[in-house]
């Protein structure tokens, strides 16, 4: 898998880490764990609100045929072997996450993904609301997945300048298949809420 656009991959190794501050958003989860450690990533991640789609589409806005389907990623990153859902993103669809807390620093997004089409990528956009309600949409990168379940690369979210300018403490994410006929299945969407010190 490779990053095709925008933000570069960040190194998996971490030094001493400290939690980033909270903010005004619909979801602020202070808990985290090393859910990607089996893949050589020792960073601590917090799962996004309904990031495993076990509560259907709650907290997500789906369009263009995107829908929650039966079939979990096979590694059960949450530790719950009863998980049984994932999100199908057919060609022409999009999915918006709920807003999450964000503070100045370098965050990383990672998820489980499977490409269902012969080619195509999955675009990740960062939706940044300002205090006056104006949205800024930033390109978080486009990743290329395999045809079997695997973790995405770490998407580096280097938003410090934009966040400070807009005065916001919340972001959301939009996931869109790109390329002719591109289709993906995603599950277990996590944020790395820590920064190296």
CATH classification at residue 62: 2.60.120.260
171, containing H or E segment? strand 170-178
Least confident piece of the model among 19-23, 36-40, 170-174:
19-23
Say if 117 falls within a structural domain. yes
Q: Is residue 9 part of a domain?
A: no
Share of the chain above pLDDT 90, in %: 55
Task: Give Dmax (Cα) for the chain.
Answer: 43
Q: Which residue has the higher pLDDT, 30 or 54?
A: 54
Q: How big is the chain, counted in residues?
A: 197
CA-closest candidate to residue 168, choices 10, 21, 17, 7:
21
Per-residue model confidence as pLDDT tens digits over 52-77: 999 999 999 999 999 999 999 999 99
CA torsion angle for 146, 152, 154, 156 (degrees, to 10)?
90
| Domain ranges, residue 154 | 17-196
Are the beta carbons of 182 and 119 closer than 8 angstroms? yes
Q: Give me the pLDDT at residue 146, please.
A: 95
Is residue 1 included in any domain, yes or no? Answer: no
Q: Return the bridge partners of 45, or none.
A: 33
Determine, yes or no, domain membership for 126.
yes
Asked if residue 77 is part of any domain, the answer here is yes
Count of domains observed in the chain: 1
Lowest mean pLDDT among 10-19, 105-114, 184-193: 10-19
pLDDT digits (tens, 9 = 90+) for 98-143: 888 766 555 789 999 999 999 999 999 988 777 677 678 888 889 9
pLDDT band at residue 163 under the 50/70/90 scheme: low
The mean predicted confidence, pLDDT, of the chain is 80
- What confidence score (pLDDT) does residue 139 get? 85
Examine residue 5 and state whether it is found in any structural domain, yes or no.
Answer: no
pLDDT of residue 89: 99
Q: Is residue 27 part of a domain?
A: yes
Structural domain contains residue 85: yes
| Angstrom distance (rounded) from CA 51 to CA 123 | 17
């Amino acid at each position: 898998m490779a990053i095709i656009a925008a933000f570069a991959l960040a190194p998996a190794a971490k030094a001493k880490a400290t939690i980033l501050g909270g903010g005004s958003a619909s979801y602020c989860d202070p808990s985290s764990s090393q859910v990607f450690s089996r893949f050589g990533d020792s960073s601590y991640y917090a799962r996004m609100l309904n990031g495993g789609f076990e509560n259907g589409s709650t907290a997500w806005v789906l369009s263009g045929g995107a829908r929650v389907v039966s079939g979990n990623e096979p590694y059960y990153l949450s530790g719950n072997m009863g998980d049984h859902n994932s999100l199908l993103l057919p060609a022409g669809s999009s999915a918006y996450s709920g807003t999450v807390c964000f503070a100045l620093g370098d965050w990383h997004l990672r998820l489980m993904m499977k490409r269902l089409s012969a080619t195509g990528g999955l675009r990740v956009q960062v939706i940044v609301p300002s205090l006056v309600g104006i949205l800024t949409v930033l390109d978080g990168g486009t990743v290329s997945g395999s045809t079997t379940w695997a973790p995405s690369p770490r998407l580096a979210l280097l938003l410090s300048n934009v966040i400070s300018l807009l005065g916001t403490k919340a972001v959301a994410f939009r996931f869109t298949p790109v390329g002719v006929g591109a289709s993906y299945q995603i599950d277990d969407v996590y944020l790395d809420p820590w920064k190296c010190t």
